Amino acid sequence: MDAYERITRNAAEVVTEEEIEALADDPDGKRAYVGYEPSGVLHIGHMLTANKLIDLQEAGFEVTVLLADVHAYLNDKGSFEDIRHTAERMRDQFIAYGLDESNTQFVLGSDFQLDDDYTLDLHSLELETTLARAERAMAEITSGDSVKVSQAVYPLMQALDIPYLGVDIAVGGMEQRKVHMLARDVLPSIDREPPTSLHTPLIADLGTGRGKMSSSEGVTISMEDSREDIESKVNDAYCPPTADPEPTDDGEARENPVLQVFEYHVFPRFDAVVVERPEEYGGDLKYETYDALESDLESGELHPADAKGALAEYLDRLIAPGREQLAE
Protein backbone atom coordinates (compact mmCIF):
# COMPACT_ATOMS: atom_id res chain seq x y z
CA MET A 1 0.00 0.00 0.00
CA ASP A 2 1.56 3.31 -1.04
CA ALA A 3 1.29 6.57 0.94
CA TYR A 4 -1.72 7.86 -0.99
CA GLU A 5 -3.67 4.63 -0.51
CA ARG A 6 -2.89 4.55 3.20
CA ILE A 7 -3.84 8.20 3.69
CA THR A 8 -7.15 7.89 1.85
CA ARG A 9 -8.31 4.38 2.78
CA ASN A 10 -11.71 4.39 4.46
CA ALA A 11 -12.02 8.16 3.98
CA ALA A 12 -15.51 9.42 3.19
CA GLU A 13 -14.09 12.51 1.47
CA VAL A 14 -10.83 14.35 0.81
CA VAL A 15 -10.65 18.03 -0.13
CA THR A 16 -9.06 18.11 -2.55
CA GLU A 17 -7.77 15.01 -4.33
CA GLU A 18 -4.98 16.99 -6.00
CA GLU A 19 -3.80 18.45 -2.69
CA ILE A 20 -3.75 15.04 -1.00
CA GLU A 21 -1.83 13.53 -3.92
CA ALA A 22 0.82 16.25 -3.67
CA LEU A 23 1.20 15.69 0.09
CA ALA A 24 1.39 11.91 -0.38
CA ASP A 25 4.21 12.36 -2.90
CA ASP A 26 6.34 14.15 -0.29
CA PRO A 27 5.07 13.43 3.25
CA ASP A 28 8.41 14.06 4.98
CA GLY A 29 7.95 16.81 7.57
CA LYS A 30 4.24 17.21 6.78
CA ARG A 31 1.79 17.39 9.67
CA ALA A 32 -1.84 16.35 10.19
CA TYR A 33 -4.10 17.19 13.08
CA VAL A 34 -7.39 16.40 14.78
CA GLY A 35 -8.97 18.52 17.48
CA TYR A 36 -10.98 17.03 20.34
CA GLU A 37 -12.88 18.64 23.17
CA PRO A 38 -11.58 16.95 26.34
CA SER A 39 -14.47 14.72 27.34
CA GLY A 40 -13.02 12.21 29.78
CA VAL A 41 -12.90 8.85 28.10
CA LEU A 42 -12.14 7.91 24.51
CA HIS A 43 -15.10 6.40 22.71
CA ILE A 44 -15.51 4.82 19.32
CA GLY A 45 -15.84 8.20 17.58
CA HIS A 46 -12.44 9.34 18.88
CA MET A 47 -10.98 5.97 17.90
CA LEU A 48 -12.15 6.30 14.31
CA THR A 49 -10.19 9.50 13.69
CA ALA A 50 -7.30 8.13 15.78
CA ASN A 51 -7.12 5.19 13.35
CA LYS A 52 -6.70 7.70 10.54
CA LEU A 53 -3.95 9.49 12.46
CA ILE A 54 -2.16 6.15 12.82
CA ASP A 55 -2.52 5.66 9.05
CA LEU A 56 -1.00 9.10 8.49
CA GLN A 57 1.90 8.36 10.83
CA GLU A 58 2.60 5.14 8.95
CA ALA A 59 2.53 7.14 5.70
CA GLY A 60 5.25 9.44 7.04
CA PHE A 61 3.30 12.32 8.58
CA GLU A 62 3.82 13.91 11.95
CA VAL A 63 0.63 14.27 14.00
CA THR A 64 -0.76 17.00 16.23
CA VAL A 65 -3.63 16.30 18.60
CA LEU A 66 -5.35 19.48 19.76
CA LEU A 67 -6.91 19.00 23.20
CA ALA A 68 -9.29 21.91 22.82
CA ASP A 69 -9.76 23.17 26.36
CA VAL A 70 -10.88 26.66 25.29
CA HIS A 71 -13.42 25.18 22.88
CA ALA A 72 -14.73 22.94 25.66
CA TYR A 73 -15.04 25.97 27.95
CA LEU A 74 -16.96 27.88 25.26
CA ASN A 75 -19.22 24.85 24.91
CA ASP A 76 -19.98 24.99 28.66
CA LYS A 77 -18.14 21.76 29.55
CA GLY A 78 -16.88 22.90 32.94
CA SER A 79 -14.12 24.95 34.54
CA PHE A 80 -10.69 25.31 32.94
CA GLU A 81 -9.14 23.34 35.80
CA ASP A 82 -11.48 20.38 35.31
CA ILE A 83 -11.18 20.48 31.52
CA ARG A 84 -7.37 20.48 31.62
CA HIS A 85 -7.33 17.53 34.02
CA THR A 86 -9.59 15.67 31.60
CA ALA A 87 -7.26 16.57 28.72
CA GLU A 88 -4.31 14.95 30.48
CA ARG A 89 -6.30 11.75 30.94
CA MET A 90 -7.24 11.72 27.26
CA ARG A 91 -3.62 12.21 26.18
CA ASP A 92 -2.61 9.01 27.97
CA GLN A 93 -5.52 7.13 26.44
CA PHE A 94 -4.54 8.13 22.89
CA ILE A 95 -1.03 6.78 23.46
CA ALA A 96 -2.45 3.57 24.93
CA TYR A 97 -4.72 3.22 21.90
CA GLY A 98 -1.79 3.18 19.51
CA LEU A 99 -0.61 6.65 18.50
CA ASP A 100 3.18 6.81 18.21
CA GLU A 101 4.15 8.93 21.21
CA SER A 102 7.47 9.99 19.67
CA ASN A 103 5.67 11.27 16.57
CA THR A 104 2.63 12.89 18.23
CA GLN A 105 2.47 16.41 19.60
CA PHE A 106 -0.31 17.10 22.09
CA VAL A 107 -1.30 20.77 22.30
CA LEU A 108 -3.76 22.51 24.61
CA GLY A 109 -5.83 25.18 22.89
CA SER A 110 -5.02 27.58 25.70
CA ASP A 111 -1.32 27.29 24.78
CA PHE A 112 -1.92 29.65 21.85
CA GLN A 113 -5.60 30.66 21.61
CA LEU A 114 -5.30 33.32 24.32
CA ASP A 115 -2.33 35.09 22.67
CA ASP A 116 -2.75 38.61 21.26
CA ASP A 117 -2.01 37.66 17.64
CA TYR A 118 -4.54 34.83 17.69
CA THR A 119 -7.18 37.07 19.25
CA LEU A 120 -6.67 39.80 16.66
CA ASP A 121 -6.81 37.29 13.78
CA LEU A 122 -9.99 35.87 15.28
CA HIS A 123 -11.54 39.36 15.35
CA SER A 124 -10.50 39.80 11.70
CA LEU A 125 -12.37 36.60 10.80
CA GLU A 126 -15.39 37.81 12.73
CA LEU A 127 -15.40 40.96 10.58
CA GLU A 128 -15.30 38.83 7.40
CA THR A 129 -17.95 36.25 8.39
CA THR A 130 -21.71 36.71 8.51
CA LEU A 131 -23.63 35.19 11.38
CA ALA A 132 -25.58 33.07 8.89
CA ARG A 133 -22.32 31.61 7.53
CA ALA A 134 -21.07 30.81 11.04
CA GLU A 135 -24.41 29.22 11.97
CA ARG A 136 -24.15 26.77 9.07
CA ALA A 137 -20.83 25.54 10.46
CA MET A 138 -21.82 25.33 14.12
CA ALA A 139 -24.73 22.91 13.84
CA GLU A 140 -22.80 20.11 15.58
CA ILE A 141 -22.26 22.05 18.81
CA THR A 142 -25.55 23.88 19.29
CA SER A 143 -28.17 22.49 21.63
CA GLY A 144 -31.60 23.75 22.54
CA ASP A 145 -33.37 26.72 21.01
CA SER A 146 -30.98 29.44 22.16
CA VAL A 147 -27.71 29.91 20.32
CA LYS A 148 -24.98 31.53 22.40
CA VAL A 149 -22.44 33.99 21.05
CA SER A 150 -19.66 31.56 22.04
CA GLN A 151 -21.13 28.95 19.71
CA ALA A 152 -20.88 31.34 16.77
CA VAL A 153 -17.20 32.06 17.55
CA TYR A 154 -16.40 28.36 18.06
CA PRO A 155 -16.18 27.36 14.34
CA LEU A 156 -14.11 30.44 13.51
CA MET A 157 -11.63 29.36 16.16
CA GLN A 158 -11.57 25.87 14.65
CA ALA A 159 -10.72 27.43 11.30
CA LEU A 160 -7.99 29.62 12.81
CA ASP A 161 -6.45 26.71 14.73
CA ILE A 162 -5.32 25.15 11.45
CA PRO A 163 -2.75 27.80 10.42
CA TYR A 164 -1.70 28.45 14.00
CA LEU A 165 -0.85 24.77 14.46
CA GLY A 166 1.08 24.79 11.18
CA VAL A 167 -0.61 21.66 9.85
CA ASP A 168 -0.99 20.46 6.27
CA ILE A 169 -4.08 18.24 6.67
CA ALA A 170 -7.09 18.80 8.92
CA VAL A 171 -8.73 15.48 9.83
CA GLY A 172 -12.23 15.04 11.22
CA GLY A 173 -15.47 13.15 10.90
CA MET A 174 -17.98 14.15 8.27
CA GLU A 175 -19.67 16.28 10.94
CA GLN A 176 -16.58 18.56 10.73
CA ARG A 177 -16.95 19.11 6.98
CA LYS A 178 -18.84 22.40 7.34
CA VAL A 179 -16.13 23.79 9.60
CA HIS A 180 -13.38 22.83 7.17
CA MET A 181 -15.29 24.39 4.28
CA LEU A 182 -15.70 27.54 6.36
CA ALA A 183 -11.95 27.54 6.89
CA ARG A 184 -11.34 27.27 3.15
CA ASP A 185 -13.68 30.23 2.62
CA VAL A 186 -12.45 32.64 5.28
CA LEU A 187 -8.73 32.00 5.91
CA PRO A 188 -7.59 33.61 2.63
CA SER A 189 -9.13 36.87 3.89
CA ILE A 190 -6.34 37.05 6.50
CA ASP A 191 -3.67 35.80 4.07
CA ARG A 192 -3.71 32.22 5.36
CA GLU A 193 -3.69 29.16 3.13
CA PRO A 194 -6.98 27.23 2.85
CA PRO A 195 -6.60 23.82 4.53
CA THR A 196 -6.52 20.42 2.90
CA SER A 197 -9.01 18.23 4.74
CA LEU A 198 -9.82 14.56 5.14
CA HIS A 199 -13.13 13.33 6.54
CA THR A 200 -13.85 9.95 8.09
CA PRO A 201 -17.28 8.28 7.79
CA LEU A 202 -19.98 8.35 10.44
CA ILE A 203 -20.88 5.02 12.03
CA ALA A 204 -24.55 4.29 12.54
CA ASP A 205 -26.14 3.77 15.95
CA LEU A 206 -25.06 0.36 17.20
CA GLY A 207 -28.50 -0.70 18.34
CA THR A 208 -30.62 0.46 15.40
CA GLY A 209 -28.39 1.04 12.38
CA ARG A 210 -29.88 4.53 12.03
CA GLY A 211 -28.30 7.96 12.27
CA LYS A 212 -24.96 8.41 14.00
CA MET A 213 -23.43 6.48 16.88
CA SER A 214 -23.21 8.96 19.74
CA SER A 215 -21.72 8.99 23.21
CA SER A 216 -24.63 11.13 24.42
CA GLU A 217 -27.47 9.11 22.87
CA GLY A 218 -28.05 5.45 22.12
CA VAL A 219 -25.36 2.80 22.51
CA THR A 220 -21.66 3.42 22.06
CA ILE A 221 -18.39 1.74 23.05
CA SER A 222 -15.67 3.41 25.09
CA MET A 223 -12.47 2.63 26.95
CA GLU A 224 -14.45 2.36 30.18
CA ASP A 225 -16.17 -0.77 28.87
CA SER A 226 -15.16 -4.13 30.28
CA ARG A 227 -14.83 -7.21 28.10
CA GLU A 228 -18.30 -8.21 29.28
CA ASP A 229 -19.70 -4.76 28.43
CA ILE A 230 -18.32 -4.97 24.91
CA GLU A 231 -19.69 -8.46 24.37
CA SER A 232 -23.12 -7.42 25.62
CA LYS A 233 -23.29 -4.30 23.44
CA VAL A 234 -22.06 -6.10 20.32
CA ASN A 235 -24.37 -9.07 20.87
CA ASP A 236 -27.33 -6.65 21.02
CA ALA A 237 -26.19 -4.72 17.94
CA TYR A 238 -28.22 -4.42 14.77
CA CYS A 239 -26.64 -6.80 12.25
CA PRO A 240 -28.78 -8.05 9.36
CA PRO A 241 -26.98 -10.45 6.99
CA THR A 242 -26.23 -7.65 4.51
CA ALA A 243 -24.16 -4.49 4.12
CA ASP A 244 -27.17 -2.74 2.58
CA PRO A 245 -30.14 -3.08 4.96
CA GLU A 246 -33.66 -2.09 3.99
CA PRO A 247 -34.81 1.32 5.30
CA THR A 248 -37.17 1.53 8.24
CA ASP A 249 -40.95 1.58 7.77
CA ASP A 250 -40.68 5.38 7.93
CA GLY A 251 -38.17 5.43 5.08
CA GLU A 252 -35.17 6.21 7.29
CA ALA A 253 -31.88 4.88 5.88
CA ARG A 254 -30.06 2.17 7.76
CA GLU A 255 -26.50 0.85 7.82
CA ASN A 256 -25.00 -2.31 9.29
CA PRO A 257 -22.96 -0.93 12.21
CA VAL A 258 -21.28 -4.28 12.92
CA LEU A 259 -19.82 -4.32 9.42
CA GLN A 260 -18.92 -0.63 9.70
CA VAL A 261 -16.92 -1.25 12.88
CA PHE A 262 -15.13 -4.15 11.21
CA GLU A 263 -14.29 -1.97 8.21
CA TYR A 264 -13.23 1.23 9.97
CA HIS A 265 -11.83 -0.05 13.29
CA VAL A 266 -10.74 -3.66 13.08
CA PHE A 267 -9.27 -4.25 9.63
CA PRO A 268 -7.13 -1.07 9.68
CA ARG A 269 -5.44 -2.34 12.87
CA PHE A 270 -5.13 -6.10 12.29
CA ASP A 271 -3.54 -8.02 9.42
CA ALA A 272 -6.23 -10.70 9.59
CA VAL A 273 -9.44 -11.49 11.44
CA VAL A 274 -10.21 -15.02 12.61
CA VAL A 275 -13.83 -15.92 13.30
CA GLU A 276 -13.82 -18.87 15.67
CA ARG A 277 -16.51 -21.52 15.08
CA PRO A 278 -16.97 -25.13 16.24
CA GLU A 279 -15.96 -27.77 13.73
CA GLU A 280 -19.56 -28.92 13.49
CA TYR A 281 -20.41 -25.52 12.01
CA GLY A 282 -17.52 -25.48 9.55
CA GLY A 283 -14.60 -24.51 11.76
CA ASP A 284 -12.77 -21.20 11.93
CA LEU A 285 -12.89 -18.60 9.17
CA LYS A 286 -9.92 -16.34 8.44
CA TYR A 287 -10.26 -13.01 6.63
CA GLU A 288 -7.40 -10.88 5.41
CA THR A 289 -9.67 -8.20 3.91
CA TYR A 290 -12.91 -6.55 4.95
CA ASP A 291 -14.48 -7.26 1.54
CA ALA A 292 -14.07 -11.00 2.04
CA LEU A 293 -15.84 -10.86 5.40
CA GLU A 294 -18.67 -8.76 3.99
CA SER A 295 -19.07 -11.17 1.06
CA ASP A 296 -19.37 -14.19 3.38
CA LEU A 297 -21.98 -12.41 5.50
CA GLU A 298 -24.00 -11.63 2.36
CA SER A 299 -23.75 -15.23 1.09
CA GLY A 300 -24.69 -16.81 4.42
CA GLU A 301 -21.30 -18.46 4.94
CA LEU A 302 -20.76 -16.18 7.94
CA HIS A 303 -23.61 -15.99 10.45
CA PRO A 304 -24.24 -12.59 12.11
CA ALA A 305 -23.84 -14.16 15.56
CA ASP A 306 -20.37 -15.46 14.66
CA ALA A 307 -19.44 -12.07 13.19
CA LYS A 308 -20.50 -10.39 16.44
CA GLY A 309 -18.42 -12.79 18.51
CA ALA A 310 -15.31 -11.97 16.49
CA LEU A 311 -16.03 -8.24 16.58
CA ALA A 312 -16.26 -8.24 20.38
CA GLU A 313 -12.93 -10.09 20.59
CA TYR A 314 -11.04 -7.67 18.35
CA LEU A 315 -12.62 -4.55 19.85
CA ASP A 316 -11.58 -5.76 23.27
CA ARG A 317 -8.00 -6.14 22.05
CA LEU A 318 -8.04 -2.55 20.80
CA ILE A 319 -9.60 -1.13 23.96
CA ALA A 320 -7.79 -3.21 26.62
CA PRO A 321 -4.61 -1.03 26.79
CA GLY A 322 -6.67 2.12 27.33
CA ARG A 323 -8.87 0.38 29.88
CA GLU A 324 -5.76 -0.67 31.80
CA GLN A 325 -4.41 2.88 31.64
CA LEU A 326 -7.65 4.22 33.09
CA ALA A 327 -7.49 1.67 35.90
CA GLU A 328 -4.01 2.91 36.80
Per-domain residue ranges for the chain? 3-200, 227-326
Q: Is the pLDDT of residue 143 over 70?
A: no
- Give the model confidence (pLDDT) of 9-45 as tens digits: 999 999 999 999 999 999 999 999 999 999 889 999 8
Question: Which top CATH class is 3-200?
Answer: alpha beta
Q: Is the pLDDT of residue 141 over 90?
A: no
Which CATH fold topology does 227-326 show? Tyrosyl-Transfer RNA Synthetase (1.10.240)
The rounded percent of the chain whose pLDDT value lies above 90 is 85
Can you give 144-194 as a three-state secondary structure string?
CCCCCHHHHHHHHHHHHHHHHHCCCEEEEEHHHHHHHHHHHHHHHHHCCCC
| 299 annotated to bind ligand | no
- The stretch 256-274 carries a mean pLDDT of 98
What's the distance, CA 160 to chain centroid?
20
> To the nearest whole number, what is the mean pLDDT of the chain?
93
| 325 annotated to bind ligand | no
- Give the model confidence (pLDDT) of 162-198 as tens digits: 999 999 999 999 999 999 999 999 999 999 999 999 9
Q: Is the pLDDT of residue 144 over 60?
A: no
Instruction: Name the amino acid, one letter, at 58.
Output: E
30: which residues sit within 8 A by CB, 6+ positions away?
23, 60, 61, 62, 168, 169
- The stretch 284-295 carries a mean pLDDT of 98
Whole-model pTM over 0.85: yes
- The stretch 59-72 carries a mean pLDDT of 96
Dihedral angle sign, alpha carbons of residues 308, 51, 58, 319: negative
Q: Pairing relation of β-strands 273-275 and 196-200? A: unpaired
| 33 annotated to bind ligand | yes
E-strand ranges in the chain read 13-15, 31-36, 62-67, 104-108, 169-173, 196-200, 273-275, 285-287
- How many Å apart are CA 228 and CA 275, to the nearest integer? 18
pLDDT value at position 229? Answer: 97
- For residue 72, what are the CA distances in angstroms to 67, 84, 155? 9, 10, 12
Q: Is the pLDDT of residue 221 over 80?
A: yes
| 151 annotated to bind ligand | no
